[in-house]
Amino acid sequence: MIVQGTFTFAGPRATVWELLQNPDVLVKALPGAKRLVRAGEDRYEGLMQVGVGPVTAAEFAVTVSLRDKVPPERYTMEVDSKGTLGFTRGGARVELEALADAVTLMRYTAELQVGGKIASVGQRLLDQVAKLMTRQALDALNNELRARLAGGGSP
């Protein structure tokens, strides 16, 4: 499965970068994320609850490792998640471009292998769910960004 797209953040690149590395922010932004903790240098572990169409939501243990970091421009992620209803493995590339002082363009491409029940039964909704979750996460991050820039911190 390939998920790719672009997203425009309403804030400066350095702040976007900082948010993307902050598990406390990410756990709130990622739909279904229940826990996300730093488990080492550039390594995070967490728990997510995800359902796909007819496959009822179930917990996935998630490990994310960040690689090839070039702050605040780009990094890659290795993602490994597994649960009783399936697994995902793969990588994602994220690039940030400063379009203006307070406008940051994100380009992302994720290539994931999906297995288990979420693949075999949820297949036809998988792409849409992945896109939807990505969009929701990015929107939530953008809101967080706006809130911070407005000086209110976390809403």
| Residue 84 touches other proteins, criterion: CB under 8 A | yes
Stretch that binds other proteins, among 22-30, 91-99, 120-128, 141-149 (CB under 8 A): 120-128
| Residue 120 touches other proteins, criterion: CB under 8 A | yes
Residues 5-34 that bind other proteins (CB under 8 A): none
Spatial neighbors of 46 by CB under 8 A, at least 6 apart, are: 23, 27, 33, 34, 35, 36, 37, 61, 62, 64
Which candidate, 9, 5, 4, 6, places its Cα nearest to that of 139?
A: 9
Beta bridge mates, 89: 80, 113
Stretch that binds other proteins, among 26-34, 67-75, 114-122, 133-141 (CB under 8 A): 114-122
Where on the chain is the footprint of other proteins (CB under 8 A)?
A: 54, 82, 84, 86-87, 89, 113-117, 119-121, 123-124
